[in-house]
Amino acid sequence: MKRREFVSAASISAATLATFPGILSSHEQDKSGSKNAPFKLNYAPHFGMFENHAGKDLIDQLQFMRDQGFRAFEDNGMMERPKEVQEKIAVFLGRSGLIMGVFVAYAEFSERSFVISSDTVKDMLIKKMKDAVEVAKRVNARWCTVVPGAFAQNLEWDYQTAHVIENLKWCTGICEPAGLIMVLEPLNAWRDHPGLFLTRIPQAFQICRAVNSPSCKILDDLYHQQITEGNLIHNIDQAWSEIAYFQVGDNPGRNEPTTGEINYRNVFKHLHEKGFSGLIGMEHGLSKEGKEGEQALLSAYRYCDGF
């Protein structure tokens, strides 16, 4: 299928320019480089994000991502894809050099699991991690997302924390020999996920320190943490030794950077200056529909990456 060539920076519509005032001045173009140049940081789009330009075929979408300068991608639903699809994706990743980002290994939003001490829970989690290791080997993934589930209203918080730590230690016993890193994702309770155990970066930091494994680290989703606690750069610095992965989305709206209150250009500059070479997952929607929305997204990342 012949891919339509994406418009050059010089021909971006007036509507797009109005959305990001001044972002494509000659000064900014000089700083951010060609529209096809690799980004300074490893931003990772997901399937469906560029479907209007690339079509529905997954490999065409991956090729489009790479053509636009991305060098990574993530897929929360990778574990649910048929084995032959996983293998096809893996072949393209190996050929193109795209880095595989996170996939979800365990994310339970209503059931109590990690906070409970029981053989049933332990056995379930060990099986989940064994399945995740097999998928990770197949697609050459280094990270998998873990959401430790709901908290218990009838159990002291410190007991729950101890159970979470113990269950994570069982999981690292599976992941560590395989080189797979579980990244624990604190989620906001105020807008999206009330009732979850893990909500804050300092809480995740404490747990990772207690587990004390290279296979148990933090996924710092800045959209969630802006809602939960703010103070993004301070918490990045405080928890730096335990953060292995970032995800982004602006707030309010959970769309691309520049559409909300977070100064992502400054955040990305900070990560770059700290020498972050990992992935930044683009776990958000688009503020506009169709190709215009995808063009606006690309412009936003070029601007924020142009520090």
96-134 pLDDT tens trace: 999 999 999 999 899 999 999 999 999 999 999 999 999
Ordered by where they begin, the domains of the chain are 42-304 (3.20.20.150)
**Cβ-contact 242, 204 below 8 angstroms:** yes
Angstrom distance (rounded) from CA 98 to CA 298: 18
Angstrom distance (rounded) from CA 268 to CA 240: 14
**Cβ-contact 18, 24 below 8 angstroms:** no
Q: What's the pLDDT score for residue 36?
A: 85
Q: What's the pLDDT score for residue 112?
A: 96
Q: What's the pLDDT score for residue 15?
A: 36
**Cβ-contact 50, 70 below 8 angstroms:** no
**What are 60's strand-pairing partners?**
none
pTM of the shown model: 0.88
Nearest-CA neighbor of 102 among 282, 232, 250, 267? 282
Residue 184 tokens read as: 């624990």
Please report where in the chains the tokens 């989690």 appear, as a residue.
125
Nearest-CA neighbor of 229 among 266, 260, 204? 204
What three-state secondary structure class fits 86? helix
CA distances from 79 to 87, 131, 176 (A): 12, 8, 19
CB contact set of 149 (below 8 Å; sequence gap of 6+): 108, 109, 111, 112, 113, 114, 115, 196, 197
Q: Between β-strands 181-184 and 103-107, what pairing exists: parallel, antiparallel or unpaired?
A: unpaired
Angstrom distance (rounded) from CA 133 to CA 119: 21
pLDDT digits (tens, 9 = 90+) for 62-99: 999 999 999 999 999 999 999 999 999 999 999 999 99
**What are 99's strand-pairing partners?**
72
Residues of the chain with pLDDT under 50: 1-33
